[in-house]
């Protein structure tokens, strides 16, 4: 049965890939758009785009009226966005991805853009070129592939030089220099155990760098969180291209002039934001693995590093420390709070550090973290109002809705309680996992409780044991034969319906197929909802998981950052 299931998944992946590869031939009849009402200024231009013929409606309904905005935001950055005139189509919320500011100039300072935008009115296409040498960096003009902008499918293609040197489009385990023949890079976050090559992995970064040697390097960033296939291949005549096949959203491009790879990286950071500075101790030697049976084994690892003369900077603990894998809990028989705190104090006194893992899925159980979240109504719900449940390490689980107004306060409070420096686990940094969001239960996951029982979730903990050895220099609780008489307990915890959509809300169009859209991306596990949350779930603010799936991990990071940064 297991081999049969693997074969079916592999076949699904091949069929999905074949569907993606066949997409261009079915788009040749699409009429494209005509640019009208063009208004130019010193900072860019605006225009209306109207459908230039009969709708093709290949993978949805053609949107007849679009808007084009072009802005020279900085000398080395050009912003080009194409969106629906009514502004109902989903756009990435600024609360998740704040937009970069346009560079302000003094009254007498003239702009000197390093890249230039130009366009053709009919059929509408645009190109971006380097001012210094006139080289074309991006060109959507094609005799057979016009711009397609439908309710559940967006398509645009650019020509490329022969044998281009392309990098990026992570996350993937493919060659560093991307393949340029018959290559599809699928962006749809998934829990990709063993990181198989040629498949979509844990994260999504729709940015590529085009390195052209002495003539310069430039970057192209598409701000779109919908699932997509990015294809790189050659036409029948051998001409090279890169194309986007997207399940929705808008075309929100940032063109970065470079001209060096380092320059592109700096310019991208000005758009996406800088990462938190890595602490000095983060560059030291770290120890981490899954499967520590108790706090005694963790302490023994720390001790053995010292005994071997290996300078251990940081000790990590996976989900082994949790009570039956429930987030914001400690297994009080194997990781009692006073012993965990004693080990952390031991590390801190020696200028060493401690990190633990936290997952976003909260056990659907009678524990404090679940009850507090239930009271605040912060968990994802089905459209009938019931809690949406999946199955992860602790068994049946619920998932925080990061767009709920109470979500940030709830998550920050759970971290503050559990990781309290005076009474809780005094960590130095945090390891966030399973935030794709991962769900072990196969689509359609109609009975997560049964799935958990059949798959031994949570796993049976190892037998409780007394301290097996004395560790010189460690607190008394880590001495062999020391019987801890403190009281312990097995489970101690520290811790809609869719809105009416009006024009201009950018919440996504009505009446879409949110589980099985007409265009199928090459998701390695098949259905968009397989091994993750259902994509027809609607968040508290009206956004669909179909559109925001690739943002879940980003949101998981936001809320614990500030309280931990301030510690």
Q: How many CB atoms lie within 10 A of CB 24?
A: 19
Provide the Cα torsion 389, 392, 398, 400; round to 10°: -130
**Do the Cβ atoms of 508 and 544 come closer than 8 Å?**
yes
Give pLDDT, residue 11: 44
523-541: pLDDT as tens digits:
999 999 999 999 999 999 9
Give all strands (DSSP E) within 325-375, no chain letters: 329-331, 353-358, 362-363
**In this prediction, what percent of the chain has a pLDDT beyond 70?**
89
Sheet with 136-139, side-by-side order of all strands:
115-120, 125-130, 136-139
- How far is CA 268 from its chain centroid? 17
Using the predicted structure, report yes or no on whether residue 415 has a pLDDT greater than 90: yes
Closest CA to 508 of 252, 248, 251, 253: 248
Using the predicted structure, report yes or no on whether residue 21 has a pLDDT greater than 50: no
| Phi, psi dihedral angles at 150 (to 5 degrees) | -115, 175
Using the predicted structure, report yes or no on whether residue 9 has a pLDDT greater than 50: no
Using the predicted structure, report yes or no on whether residue 306 has a pLDDT greater than 80: yes
Query: In the chain, what are the domains?
Result: 36-270 (2.60.40.1760), 280-455 (3.20.20.80)
pTM for the model: 0.91
Average pLDDT rounded to a whole number, residues 30-41: 97
DSSP letter at 41 equals E
Using the predicted structure, report yes or no on whether residue 397 has a pLDDT greater than 70: yes
Rounded CA gap, 124 and 431, in Å? 47
pLDDT bin (cut points 50, 70, 90) of residue 107 is: low
Rounded CA gap, 64 and 49, in Å? 8
Residues 6+ apart with CB under 8 A from 211: 165, 166, 167, 217, 261
Give pLDDT, residue 563: 61
Give pLDDT, residue 111: 74
């Amino acid at each position: 049965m297991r081999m049969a299931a693997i074969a079916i998944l592999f076949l699904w992946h091949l069929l999905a890939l074949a569907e993606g590869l066949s997409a261009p031939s079915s788009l040749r009849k699409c009429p494209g758009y005509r640019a009208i009402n063009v208004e130019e200024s010193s900072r860019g231009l605006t225009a209306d785009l109207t459908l230039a013929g009969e709708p093709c409606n290949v993978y949805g309904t053609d949107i007849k009226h679009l808007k084009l905005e072009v802005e020279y935001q900085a000398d080395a950055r050009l912003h080009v966005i194409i969106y629906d005139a009514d502004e109902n189509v989903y756009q990435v919320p600024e609360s998740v991805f704040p937009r970069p500011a346009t560079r302000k100039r003094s009254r007498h300072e003239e702009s000197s853009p390093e890249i230039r935008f130009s366009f053709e009115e009919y059929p509408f296409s645009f190109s971006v070129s380097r001012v210094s040498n006139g080289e074309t960096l991006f060109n959507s003009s094609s005799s057979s592939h016009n711009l397609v902008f439908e309710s559940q499918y967006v398509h645009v293609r650019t020509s490329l030089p022969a044998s281009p040197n392309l990098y990026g489009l992570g996350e993937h385990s493919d060659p560093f220099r991307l393949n340029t023949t018959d290559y599809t890079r699928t962006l749809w976050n998934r829990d990709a155990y063993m990181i198989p090559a040629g498949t979509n992995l844990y994260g999504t970064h729709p940015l590529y760098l085009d390195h052209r040697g002495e003539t310069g390097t430039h970057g192209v960033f598409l701000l779109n969180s919908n699932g997509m296939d990015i294809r790189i291949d050659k036409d029948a005549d051998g001409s090279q291209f890169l194309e986007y096949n997207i399940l929705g959203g808008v075309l929100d491009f940032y063109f970065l002039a470079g001209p060096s790879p380092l320059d592109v990286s700096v310019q991208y950071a000005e758009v996406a934001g800088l990462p938190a500075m890595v602490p000095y101790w983060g560059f030291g030697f770290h120890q981490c693995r899954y499967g520590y049976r108790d706090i005694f084994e963790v302490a023994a690892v720390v001790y053995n590093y010292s005994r071997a003369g290996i300078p251990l900077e940081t000790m990590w603990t996976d989900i082994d420390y949790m009570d039956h894998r429930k987030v914001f809990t400690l297994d009080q028989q194997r990781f009692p709070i006073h012993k965990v705190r004693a080990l952390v104090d031991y590390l801190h006194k020696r200028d060493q550090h401690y990190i633990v893992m936290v997952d976003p899925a909260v056990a659907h159980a009678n524990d404090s973290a679940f009850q507090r979240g239930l009271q605040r109504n912060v968990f994802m719900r089905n459209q009938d109002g019931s809690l949406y449940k999946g199955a992860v390490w602790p068994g049946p689980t619920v998932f925080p809705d990061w767009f709920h107004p109470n979500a940030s306060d709830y998550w920050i409070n759970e971290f503050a309680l559990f990781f309290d420096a005076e009474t809780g686990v005094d960590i130095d940094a945090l390891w966030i996992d399973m935030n794709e969001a991962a769900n072990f239960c196969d689509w359609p996951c109609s009975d997560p409780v049964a799935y958990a029982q059949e798959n031994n979730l949570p796993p049976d903990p190892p037998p409780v044991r007394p301290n097996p050895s004395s560790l010189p220099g460690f607190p008394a609780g880590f001495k062999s034969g020391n019987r801890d008489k403190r009281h312990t307990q097995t489970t101690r915890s520290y811790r809609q319906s869719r809105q009416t959509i009006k024009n201009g809300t950018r919440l996504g169009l009505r009446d879409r197929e949110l589980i099985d859209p007409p265009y199928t991306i090459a998701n390695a596990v098949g259905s968009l909802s397989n091994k993750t949350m259902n994509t027809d779930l609607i968040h508290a603010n009206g956004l669909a998981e179909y559109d925001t799936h690739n943002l879940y991990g980003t949101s998981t990071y936001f809320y614990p950052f500030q309280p931990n940064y301030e510690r």
